[in-house]
Amino acid sequence: MTAKELARETRKQRRLEILGTDNPRCGTCGHSRWQAIEKHHPADHGRDDMTAMICRNCHRVLSDDQKDHPAFDPNADAMLDSIGHFLLGLADMLRLVIERLYAFGLALIERAAAPAEGGQ
């Protein structure tokens, strides 16, 4: 193994250790390259420790969506605030999944309507 290959493998193993799996996959779009998978805090960073594996593209979308969630209220019940923000973050993630499912459904219907190969 060359020095370059060894360095890449070392980076890969560190990343997989951080992610906690040898087979990382984006929870919203299914992307699976280890270099592009990150941990996302659905309740927003600092409100809850729970994370989900998300690719960098989906992570940017979801983090931007969180900017539209209600602002921190120091007088609010911390647990209820955390749960509420988690549910909003989960809804954001599910919205991305639903968009993908809708696109897949349309693609399947389109494919089903296409003439079969062989001229049937």
Q: What is the pLDDT of residues 75-120, one digit of tens each?
A: 999 999 999 999 999 999 999 999 999 999 999 999 999 876 655 5
pLDDT band with cut points at 50, 70 and 90 for residue 48: confident
Flag whether 71 is in a domain.
yes
Flag whether 119 is in a domain.
no
Q: What is the mean pLDDT of the chain?
A: 92
Strands (E) located in 16-116? 37-40, 52-55
Q: Which residue segment(s) compose the domain that 70 sits in?
A: 3-111
pLDDT given at position 72: 86
Distance CA 54, CA 2 (A): 31
Q: Is the pLDDT of residue 20 over 80?
A: yes
pLDDT given at position 47: 86
Number of domains in the chain: 1
- The C-alpha torsion from 19 through 56 and 31 to 15, rounded to 10°, is -30
